[in-house]
Amino acid sequence: MSSLPSRTRALTELRSLAELALFVRVAAFAAIVPALMRAPLPRLASLLTRPPRRQPPDAAEIERLARLVSLAPRIAQPVVRSGCLTRGLTLFWFLRRAGLDVELRFGLDPGGAQPTDGHCWLTLDGEPYLEQRDPRERFSETYRLPLPV
């Protein structure tokens, strides 16, 4: 768990009152991810997926959303959990609403120590997006949002 001084330092990364307001929305959504993941995946798809409504955001807006999503668990632990589910679902929600046509993919590691070793990641135009490493090297896709047509 983050200490108060480290949370305070993380708060200083918020650049304006408007960004603070967006951060509150990001953290609130991230906090409900565990409850969302209790829903059957088809229901989750209907709750989260809608077509992007406007032009894709510029690189600065994408960077801002990714930064705020990464700040949420640092500032709001234990209410906001860290991990790929929180990060993936939150980025999926906010990036699609910002106008970026990302997909969220879920996969399992067929050679993992546990049969439930899994990961979720974003893709854009079929390629991993905002990932440090290509998760397809380890994880076999089992599900995606939005559902393929």
pLDDT of 28-67, one tens digit each? 999 999 999 999 988 988 889 887 777 889 999 999 999 9
Q: Which amino acid is at 89?
A: L
What is the distance, to the nearest Å, from the Cα of residue 37 to the centroid of all Cα atoms in its chain? Answer: 13
- This prediction's pTM: 0.90
CA distance 103 to 92: 7
* pLDDT, tens digit, 9 for 90 and up, residues 5-26: 777 777 778 889 999 999 999 9
Nearest one of 120, 119, 122, 75 to 94, comparing CA atoms = 122
Number of domains in the chain: 1
Q: What torsion, rounded to 10 degrees, do the Cα atoms 58, 9, 76, 69 define? A: 20
CB atoms within 10 A of CB 30: 27
Domain that holds residue 71: 4-145
Please compute the mean of the pLDDT values over residues 117-127 and round it to a whole number: 95
CA distance 31 to 49: 18
Q: What is the pLDDT of residue 114?
A: 73
Please compute the mean of the pLDDT values over residues 83-96 and round it to a whole number: 96
Strands 103-108 and 127-129: what pairing? unpaired
Q: Which amino acid is at 102?
A: V
- Answer with the residue of higher pLDDT: 54 or 130: 130
